[in-house]
Structure formats: C-alpha cells, structure tokens
Amino acid sequence: MDHQTIIFEQHSHTAVITLNRPEVLNAVNSQLCAEVGAALETVANDTSIRVVIITGAGSKAFCVGADLKAVAAGEFGSEEQAGEWGFAGICKHYINKPIIAAVNGLALGGGTEIVLATDIVVASESASFGLTEVTLGLIAGAGGILRLPRQIPEKIAARMIFEGEAMSAAEAAKWGLVNEVVPADEVMANAMAIAEKIASNSPVAVRMSKDVFYRGLDAPLDFPPTARALNQKYVNELMLTEDAAEGARAFVEQRKPQWNDS
C-alpha cells in the first residue's frame, strides 16, 4: 500500500508503524486514521507478525493529537470522519497481538489517547503526556477519559483530565502509565528488544493471553466467577494446540521451541 501519512515496516516478526507527519508534530487527520487502521488490520491478519510498535517521525513529537487546522476547516473531528477504527485508527481497534508505544517526544491530547490504547510503553526522557483537550474547550473523546483511570490511580487521572496539564515521562512512569523511560536515542532499541522477547514466545499463547487480560478486566473474579470461566475456556483451547505440545517437548529435550505461526 502507498502510504501518505505513515511508514509501515516489518522486521522479522515485528511490525513498526511510524506516524509520519513531522511537519505538524504527527497530528492526526482522516487519512492517518485510515492508514493506521489498515496497517493494524494487516498486523492482525498476517501470521508472520507477532508484535507491533507504534512511534512518531522526527525528534520532537510522538503525536500532539488531532490536526486542529483540519478540525477548524471541518475536515476532521467527528467519529464518522475518524472512521470505523476510531481516532488514529487505533482507539476503537482491538487486535489480539501486543502493541508497544515507542514515545519519542510529545504525546498530548489524542497522542496520549493513542498511548492508552497500547499495551506497553517505552518513553524518551523528554516525552510528556497529557489530556489537554479541556484547555481547548474539548474533551478527550477518543477513549482517554475512560482508559486513563483504569491505568493510573483515579485521583491522579482526575487532576490530569480536569486541569489539562501534561506530566513528564518520569512522573508517568511513577504512576504506571509508562513501562520504561530511556534516553531519546534508545527508545526504539528498547521497544524492539521488548518486541523480540514477546515474539520469541508462542504466538497463540500470547494472543490468547492478551484476550484473557482485557476480557477479564471487567469480569467478576469470584462472585460469579465469570473471569475464571473465561480463563478456563482459553486454557482448554490452548492445550489442544500444537504450540502447547511443542513447548513441553522443547523443555524436555532442552532445545528452543519451534512455534507454529498459525
């Protein structure tokens, strides 16, 4: 596919999606929504891809949210204009393969909402995060208000949402929004190292683990034991796969497992 707003690459079992509008700090328009959404569909359906990294082009920003010039012109802003996969093609787009955000700079407004829609976050020391929409008379309508208090303490989330101020990468890591904070020139290398560790595991086991992880978050653990029933369903299915048998064989034979990509 000929992309205008992103770069899509594959390195072994890892795909990299780079938001490629550095001239506007990787601000999101309708075209970017469509291209990221299509790229994530490729990731979801390509059995050779086990992990995806999302990052931004340039050294200043991961993404500063919606392209306000496009919003002011009426070209972008509504859910219909964002398309079926939501803001940036990711905010309403679940795939059961791990998504790593490699945050190379500012992640403001919708940029933070993209981060919240990923699974693991590696951030530059110079990165910052914030749901800044209220300072512009808007709200974080792409899921940020819903996701933030599920990922950091409620009181911290409330202040962040109501004040609209950004927090540093170090503070974001303190509250659990970020996994690792590293020098700017090490962000992609660290993200790739995490991706390679994930990709070395059984693809089917990782996919099922992600499904159970998210489906179980809002399911009761014991009364009724909905989450446990969900967990057992996936365990039963996994034990019938070739990867489950291969993992046990490889352990006994003291060799590296040969996973099935299907």
Provide the token pair at 226: 């909905």
Say how far apart CA 252 and CA 99 lie, in whole Å. Answer: 32
Cα dihedral value 116, 119, 120, 126, nearest 10: -20
The conformation of residue 66, written as its DSSP 8-state character, comes to B
Which residues, other chains included, contact 74 with Cβ-Cβ below 8 Å and sequence gap of 6+?
none
Closest CA to 68 of 115, 21, 36: 21
Q: Please give the distance of CA 227 from its chain centroid, rounded to a whole number.
A: 23
DSSP states along 172-194: HHHTTS-SEEE-GGGHHHHHHHH
Which positions are annotated as active-site residues?
Answer: 113, 133
Q: Where are the beta strands (DSSP E) in the chain?
A: 6-11, 14-19, 51-56, 61-63, 99-103, 106-108, 120-124, 128-130, 167-168, 180-182
